[in-house]
Amino acid sequence: MTSTRIELTQLSPDKDVLTFIDQLQRVSAQIQDVATSSRMTTLGSRAKRLQLSLLAPLEQLRGDIVYHLTALELQLSPWAAQVNKSLTHLRNAQSFLDTDAAEVCYNRSDTYRARLRGHLDAYRNYTTMVLNDRCASCRPLFDIFDAMRMLFCHHIMDPMNGLWFSAFLCLFLWAVATPLSLMLSSTYRRLEILSTKLQHSNSHRYNARASVREDQRESSHWSTQRSTVSVMPDIDRSNW
Protein backbone atom coordinates (compact mmCIF):
# COMPACT_ATOMS: atom_id res chain seq x y z
CA MET A 1 0.00 0.00 0.00
CA THR A 2 2.82 2.41 0.80
CA SER A 3 4.63 1.62 -2.44
CA THR A 4 1.43 2.23 -4.41
CA ARG A 5 0.91 5.58 -2.70
CA ILE A 6 4.52 6.59 -3.44
CA GLU A 7 4.10 5.67 -7.10
CA LEU A 8 0.94 7.76 -7.31
CA THR A 9 2.54 10.80 -5.65
CA GLN A 10 5.34 10.98 -8.20
CA LEU A 11 5.31 13.58 -11.01
CA SER A 12 2.17 13.25 -13.07
CA PRO A 13 1.74 14.04 -16.79
CA ASP A 14 -0.56 16.93 -15.88
CA LYS A 15 2.34 19.07 -14.74
CA ASP A 16 4.37 18.22 -17.83
CA VAL A 17 1.40 19.09 -20.05
CA LEU A 18 0.95 22.45 -18.28
CA THR A 19 4.63 23.18 -18.76
CA PHE A 20 4.37 22.24 -22.42
CA ILE A 21 1.34 24.52 -22.93
CA ASP A 22 3.11 27.40 -21.24
CA GLN A 23 6.13 26.96 -23.46
CA LEU A 24 3.94 26.84 -26.60
CA GLN A 25 2.26 30.09 -25.62
CA ARG A 26 5.62 31.79 -25.05
CA VAL A 27 7.02 30.51 -28.33
CA SER A 28 3.93 31.62 -30.27
CA ALA A 29 4.24 35.08 -28.75
CA GLN A 30 7.86 35.33 -29.84
CA ILE A 31 7.31 34.12 -33.44
CA GLN A 32 6.94 36.93 -35.94
CA ASP A 33 5.21 34.83 -38.62
CA VAL A 34 1.50 35.13 -38.22
CA ALA A 35 0.63 31.72 -39.68
CA THR A 36 3.15 29.90 -37.53
CA SER A 37 2.11 31.86 -34.47
CA SER A 38 -1.57 31.00 -35.07
CA ARG A 39 -0.72 27.35 -35.50
CA MET A 40 1.27 27.35 -32.27
CA THR A 41 -1.60 29.11 -30.51
CA THR A 42 -4.10 26.56 -31.86
CA LEU A 43 -1.88 23.72 -30.72
CA GLY A 44 -1.63 25.25 -27.26
CA SER A 45 -5.40 25.73 -26.99
CA ARG A 46 -6.04 22.12 -28.04
CA ALA A 47 -3.49 20.94 -25.48
CA LYS A 48 -5.23 23.11 -22.87
CA ARG A 49 -8.62 21.56 -23.72
CA LEU A 50 -7.08 18.07 -23.55
CA GLN A 51 -5.60 18.87 -20.16
CA LEU A 52 -8.90 20.18 -18.83
CA SER A 53 -11.13 17.43 -20.24
CA LEU A 54 -8.95 14.38 -19.63
CA LEU A 55 -5.95 14.97 -17.42
CA ALA A 56 -7.60 17.20 -14.80
CA PRO A 57 -10.26 14.55 -13.81
CA LEU A 58 -7.57 11.91 -13.73
CA GLU A 59 -5.48 14.14 -11.50
CA GLN A 60 -8.48 14.63 -9.24
CA LEU A 61 -9.01 10.87 -9.03
CA ARG A 62 -5.33 10.36 -8.31
CA GLY A 63 -5.54 12.85 -5.47
CA ASP A 64 -8.60 11.14 -4.00
CA ILE A 65 -6.92 7.75 -4.24
CA VAL A 66 -3.78 9.06 -2.56
CA TYR A 67 -5.90 10.61 0.19
CA HIS A 68 -7.78 7.38 0.87
CA LEU A 69 -4.57 5.36 0.80
CA THR A 70 -3.02 7.74 3.32
CA ALA A 71 -6.11 7.44 5.56
CA LEU A 72 -5.98 3.67 5.30
CA GLU A 73 -2.29 3.68 6.23
CA LEU A 74 -3.10 5.76 9.27
CA GLN A 75 -5.87 3.39 10.32
CA LEU A 76 -4.00 0.23 9.36
CA SER A 77 -1.81 0.01 12.41
CA PRO A 78 -4.71 0.19 14.96
CA TRP A 79 -6.66 -2.30 12.90
CA ALA A 80 -3.68 -4.61 12.62
CA ALA A 81 -3.16 -4.42 16.38
CA GLN A 82 -6.85 -5.13 16.98
CA VAL A 83 -6.80 -8.07 14.55
CA ASN A 84 -3.71 -9.51 16.21
CA LYS A 85 -5.36 -9.09 19.60
CA SER A 86 -8.51 -10.80 18.35
CA LEU A 87 -6.48 -13.65 16.90
CA THR A 88 -4.68 -14.03 20.22
CA HIS A 89 -8.01 -14.18 22.05
CA LEU A 90 -9.30 -16.71 19.57
CA ARG A 91 -6.26 -18.92 20.04
CA ASN A 92 -6.64 -18.70 23.82
CA ALA A 93 -10.34 -19.53 23.57
CA GLN A 94 -9.61 -22.47 21.27
CA SER A 95 -6.97 -23.84 23.63
CA PHE A 96 -9.35 -23.40 26.57
CA LEU A 97 -12.12 -25.23 24.73
CA ASP A 98 -9.76 -28.02 23.74
CA THR A 99 -8.71 -28.57 27.36
CA ASP A 100 -11.82 -27.73 29.41
CA ALA A 101 -14.75 -28.07 26.98
CA ALA A 102 -16.03 -31.34 28.48
CA GLU A 103 -15.99 -29.99 32.02
CA VAL A 104 -17.65 -26.75 30.97
CA CYS A 105 -20.40 -28.63 29.13
CA TYR A 106 -20.96 -30.93 32.09
CA ASN A 107 -21.15 -28.02 34.51
CA ARG A 108 -23.53 -26.07 32.33
CA SER A 109 -25.74 -29.10 31.71
CA ASP A 110 -25.74 -29.91 35.43
CA THR A 111 -26.74 -26.34 36.20
CA TYR A 112 -29.50 -26.50 33.61
CA ARG A 113 -30.81 -29.80 34.98
CA ALA A 114 -30.74 -28.45 38.52
CA ARG A 115 -32.65 -25.36 37.45
CA LEU A 116 -35.17 -27.49 35.57
CA ARG A 117 -35.65 -29.78 38.57
CA GLY A 118 -36.13 -26.72 40.75
CA HIS A 119 -38.84 -25.39 38.42
CA LEU A 120 -40.58 -28.77 38.33
CA ASP A 121 -40.44 -29.12 42.13
CA ALA A 122 -41.81 -25.63 42.53
CA TYR A 123 -44.63 -26.35 40.09
CA ARG A 124 -45.44 -29.63 41.84
CA ASN A 125 -45.48 -27.97 45.25
CA TYR A 126 -47.68 -25.17 43.94
CA THR A 127 -50.07 -27.65 42.34
CA THR A 128 -50.25 -29.72 45.53
CA MET A 129 -50.88 -26.62 47.61
CA VAL A 130 -53.63 -25.42 45.29
CA LEU A 131 -55.30 -28.82 45.22
CA ASN A 132 -55.09 -29.25 48.98
CA ASP A 133 -56.03 -25.73 50.03
CA ARG A 134 -58.08 -24.02 47.34
CA CYS A 135 -59.77 -26.97 45.62
CA ALA A 136 -61.40 -30.20 46.67
CA SER A 137 -59.31 -33.27 47.33
CA CYS A 138 -58.54 -35.42 44.31
CA ARG A 139 -58.61 -38.69 46.23
CA PRO A 140 -62.24 -39.59 45.39
CA LEU A 141 -61.62 -38.78 41.76
CA PHE A 142 -58.54 -40.98 41.78
CA ASP A 143 -60.52 -43.76 43.50
CA ILE A 144 -63.15 -43.54 40.76
CA PHE A 145 -60.42 -43.64 38.12
CA ASP A 146 -58.76 -46.60 39.84
CA ALA A 147 -62.08 -48.46 40.04
CA MET A 148 -62.80 -47.80 36.36
CA ARG A 149 -59.30 -48.94 35.44
CA MET A 150 -59.67 -52.09 37.54
CA LEU A 151 -63.06 -52.81 35.98
CA PHE A 152 -61.84 -52.26 32.44
CA CYS A 153 -58.48 -54.01 32.75
CA HIS A 154 -59.17 -56.94 35.07
CA HIS A 155 -62.85 -57.65 34.45
CA ILE A 156 -63.14 -56.87 30.73
CA MET A 157 -59.76 -57.06 29.05
CA ASP A 158 -58.44 -60.12 30.93
CA PRO A 159 -61.48 -62.32 30.07
CA MET A 160 -61.27 -61.08 26.50
CA ASN A 161 -57.61 -62.06 26.47
CA GLY A 162 -58.56 -65.50 27.78
CA LEU A 163 -61.30 -65.75 25.16
CA TRP A 164 -58.88 -64.87 22.39
CA PHE A 165 -56.40 -67.41 23.74
CA SER A 166 -59.09 -70.10 23.88
CA ALA A 167 -60.21 -69.26 20.35
CA PHE A 168 -56.64 -69.46 19.13
CA LEU A 169 -56.12 -72.79 20.90
CA CYS A 170 -59.35 -74.19 19.41
CA LEU A 171 -58.34 -73.04 15.94
CA PHE A 172 -54.92 -74.61 16.39
CA LEU A 173 -56.41 -77.93 17.55
CA TRP A 174 -58.93 -77.79 14.72
CA ALA A 175 -56.16 -77.15 12.19
CA VAL A 176 -54.23 -80.13 13.56
CA ALA A 177 -57.21 -82.48 13.93
CA THR A 178 -58.83 -81.78 10.55
CA PRO A 179 -56.16 -83.47 8.38
CA LEU A 180 -55.95 -86.36 10.85
CA SER A 181 -59.72 -86.82 10.81
CA LEU A 182 -59.75 -86.74 7.01
CA MET A 183 -57.00 -89.35 6.89
CA LEU A 184 -58.83 -91.57 9.41
CA SER A 185 -62.13 -91.22 7.54
CA SER A 186 -60.52 -92.12 4.22
CA THR A 187 -58.81 -95.12 5.89
CA TYR A 188 -62.10 -96.22 7.46
CA ARG A 189 -63.87 -95.99 4.12
CA ARG A 190 -61.20 -98.11 2.50
CA LEU A 191 -61.45 -100.68 5.29
CA GLU A 192 -65.24 -100.68 4.98
CA ILE A 193 -65.03 -101.22 1.22
CA LEU A 194 -62.53 -104.04 1.70
CA SER A 195 -64.72 -105.68 4.37
CA THR A 196 -67.74 -105.43 2.07
CA LYS A 197 -65.79 -107.08 -0.74
CA LEU A 198 -64.59 -109.85 1.60
CA GLN A 199 -68.10 -110.51 2.85
CA HIS A 200 -69.38 -110.64 -0.72
CA SER A 201 -66.65 -113.12 -1.78
CA ASN A 202 -67.23 -115.25 1.34
CA SER A 203 -70.95 -115.41 0.65
CA HIS A 204 -70.26 -116.56 -2.92
CA ARG A 205 -67.92 -119.27 -1.65
CA TYR A 206 -70.42 -120.38 0.98
CA ASN A 207 -73.20 -120.57 -1.57
CA ALA A 208 -70.99 -122.63 -3.91
CA ARG A 209 -70.08 -125.06 -1.13
CA ALA A 210 -73.67 -125.32 -0.04
CA SER A 211 -74.79 -126.11 -3.59
CA VAL A 212 -72.09 -128.76 -3.89
CA ARG A 213 -73.16 -130.35 -0.60
CA GLU A 214 -76.79 -130.26 -1.66
CA ASP A 215 -75.89 -131.91 -4.91
CA GLN A 216 -73.93 -134.58 -3.05
CA ARG A 217 -76.86 -135.18 -0.69
CA GLU A 218 -79.32 -135.48 -3.54
CA SER A 219 -77.05 -137.89 -5.40
CA SER A 220 -76.60 -140.03 -2.29
CA HIS A 221 -80.36 -139.99 -1.68
CA TRP A 222 -81.11 -141.14 -5.17
CA SER A 223 -78.53 -143.89 -4.94
CA THR A 224 -80.05 -145.05 -1.65
CA GLN A 225 -83.56 -145.18 -3.15
CA ARG A 226 -82.29 -147.15 -6.13
CA SER A 227 -80.64 -149.73 -3.86
CA THR A 228 -83.85 -150.06 -1.84
CA VAL A 229 -85.92 -150.61 -4.93
CA SER A 230 -83.57 -153.32 -6.16
CA VAL A 231 -83.65 -155.20 -2.81
CA MET A 232 -87.46 -155.26 -2.39
CA PRO A 233 -88.18 -157.63 -5.29
CA ASP A 234 -85.67 -160.14 -3.99
CA ILE A 235 -87.43 -160.22 -0.62
CA ASP A 236 -90.81 -160.79 -2.18
CA ARG A 237 -89.52 -163.69 -4.32
CA SER A 238 -88.08 -165.40 -1.27
CA ASN A 239 -91.36 -165.23 0.51
CA TRP A 240 -93.03 -166.83 -2.40
pLDDT of residue 191: 85
Please list, residue by residue across 42-70, b when 16 or more beta carbons sit within 10 angstroms of its beta carbon and e when fewer do: ebbeebeeebeeebeeebeeeeeebeebe
pLDDT value of position 237: 44
**Model pLDDT, residue 115:** 94
User: Residue 117: what pLDDT?
Assistant: 94
Q: Of all helices (H) and strands (E), which one includes residue 125?
A: helix 56-129
pTM for the predicted model, two decimal places: 0.26
> Domain residue spans in the chain?
3-99, 181-208
pLDDT at 230: 47
Spatial CA neighbour of 28 closest among 17, 15, 44, 16: 44
At 200 the pLDDT is 67
Q: Which residues of the chain have pLDDT under 50?
A: 228-240
Q: What φ, ψ does residue 136 adopt, rounded to 5°?
A: -75, 160
pLDDT at 229: 44
What pLDDT score does 210 carry? 56
Return d(Cα 46, Cα 25) in angstroms, integer. Answer: 12
Residue 14: how many other CB atoms lie within 10 Å: 16
